Amino acid sequence: MRKKNLMHFCLWLLAAVMAVYPPVCRAAGADLKAMADAVIDTGVKYDNIPALMNPEYVTVPNASLSLERGEPVFVIHLPQGVRIYPQYIMVWHEAVNETTPDGAPVLITYSPLTGAVAGYSARAGRFDTSFGVTGKLLNANTVLYDRSTGSLWPQITGTAIEGPLEGTTLERLPVLWTTWEKAAGRWPGALVLSRATGYRRSYGKDPYGSYRSGNSYYQNNTVTFPVMHADARFNAKEPMLGLTRDNLQTAVHKSQVKAQGVINFTMGTEPLAAVYDRQLDAVRIFSRVVNGKTVSLLMRDRTMADSETNSEWTPEGTCEFGVLRGYQLTRVPAVEVMWFAWAAYYPETTVIPPAENSW
């Protein structure tokens, strides 16, 4: 009886604290219960896939001894500098808990079955926490849990679907997907996630195959677990950038951005642009509002300029020549994700550019 009363008291106390300190953002309109009911128990137990806590890093020259040129890596800019996370390590851990110099928790995540990479501030409402891997799946996507309350969080949405923090949404951080050769060339002073994790894993191998192979899980059209919604507008594994803004969802077709160089679009009333970085073979999303005014970006002989002032911009969103020289476009965080998984979570998603000639 004492244990039961203590449990009720703890839940009451948590509810009281959340009433005084409401979460930063709460999901609106999402059927969280339907998501919670659709979670699949794979038989993999909590922490059998071990998330990393405050990991070790090595320099780029040291990392080059074990990384291959075309190996996928994920890049995030933290206050302490650029960090690079090799996919061959992330596939075995799926979540890395990091801390900024001022003590703010950061979460870097990768879900192998959905090809989803996302970064988050690990401040759930007013709670600083860390995250682990449950072993459960939703829409074939990794389900995480926070170690403060045990709430369940699908990796793609960053929104708790069950537990004391249900409905709370984490702040998303920009992460960029590129290759080791390109990342090392762009950021030679970066630090790279070390294989010295404290766990024995085959870090030079991927149990699901290879992104560089034409015959692996990452390239075929097979979805191995049930999904809540299927959408055949694209190949299931087509790479997308997923955006959520003010209860709207958009999937940006990376191949189309690569072909066009830049695509201007809006989400609701927010003017955005998807920009291709040729040197990194990567796509970033930016706000097109500069100094209070909206600009339209276009390509001119491999140079990106705005049509309003003819100022020239880099793929990193910096204006280097023209009237707007010195201005910086604001980066908009997105999720690198396979099409089937994004559409499974967000059936009403729009696609940029529109999918009239889709697969």
The pLDDT score that the predictor gives to residue 355 is 66
Between CA 94 and CA 105 the distance in angstroms is 16
Residue type, 335: V
Between CA 248 and CA 246 the distance in angstroms is 5
The pLDDT score that the predictor gives to residue 27 is 45
The pLDDT score that the predictor gives to residue 247 is 87
Question: Under the phi-then-psi rule, with left for phi > 0, alpha for psi from -120 to 50, and beta for the rest, what region is 307?
Answer: alpha
DSSP reduced 3-state for 159: strand
The pLDDT score that the predictor gives to residue 45 is 98
- Going 324 to 174 to 36 to 338, the CA torsion angle's sign is positive
Residues with Cβ within 8 Å of 207's Cβ and at least 6 positions away in sequence, in order, are 91, 112
Between CA 108 and CA 129 the distance in angstroms is 13
Question: Under the phi-then-psi rule, with left for phi > 0, alpha for psi from -120 to 50, and beta for the rest, what region is 118?
Answer: beta
What's 114's DSSP letter? G
Between CA 74 and CA 336 the distance in angstroms is 10
Contact 170, 121 (CB under 8 A): yes
> Whose structure tokens read 């001119």?
300
Between CA 267 and CA 242 the distance in angstroms is 12
Characterize the bridge pairing of strands 319-321 and 191-193.
unpaired
pLDDT in tens, the chain (359 residues): 444 444 444 433 443 333 333 333 444 334 899 999 999 999 999 999 999 999 999 999 999 999 999 999 999 999 999 999 999 999 999 999 999 999 999 999 999 999 999 999 999 877 899 999 999 999 999 999 999 999 999 999 999 999 999 999 999 999 999 999 999 999 999 999 999 999 999 998 999 999 988 789 999 999 999 999 999 999 999 999 999 998 899 999 999 999 999 999 999 999 999 999 999 999 999 999 999 999 999 999 889 999 999 999 999 999 999 999 999 999 999 999 999 999 999 999 999 998 664 44
What is 244-270 written as a DSSP string?
EETTEEEEEEHHHHHHHSEEEEEETTE
Between CA 274 and CA 293 the distance in angstroms is 18
The pLDDT score that the predictor gives to residue 116 is 98
Contact 86, 180 (CB under 8 A): yes
Retrieve residue 51's tokens: 């998330």
Of 246, 247, 244, 263, give the one whose Cα is nearest residue 255.
Answer: 263
**In the sheet that 297-300 helps form, which strands lie side by side, from edge to edge?**
297-300, 303-306, 312-313, 319-321
Retrieve residue 110's tokens: 């990768």
The pLDDT score that the predictor gives to residue 354 is 86
Alpha carbon 31 to chain centroid, angstroms: 21
DSSP reduced 3-state for 10: helix
The pLDDT score that the predictor gives to residue 333 is 98
Nearest-Å Rg of the Cα atoms of the chain is 21
Residue type, 256: Q
Between CA 291 and CA 359 the distance in angstroms is 39
Contact 259, 69 (CB under 8 A): no
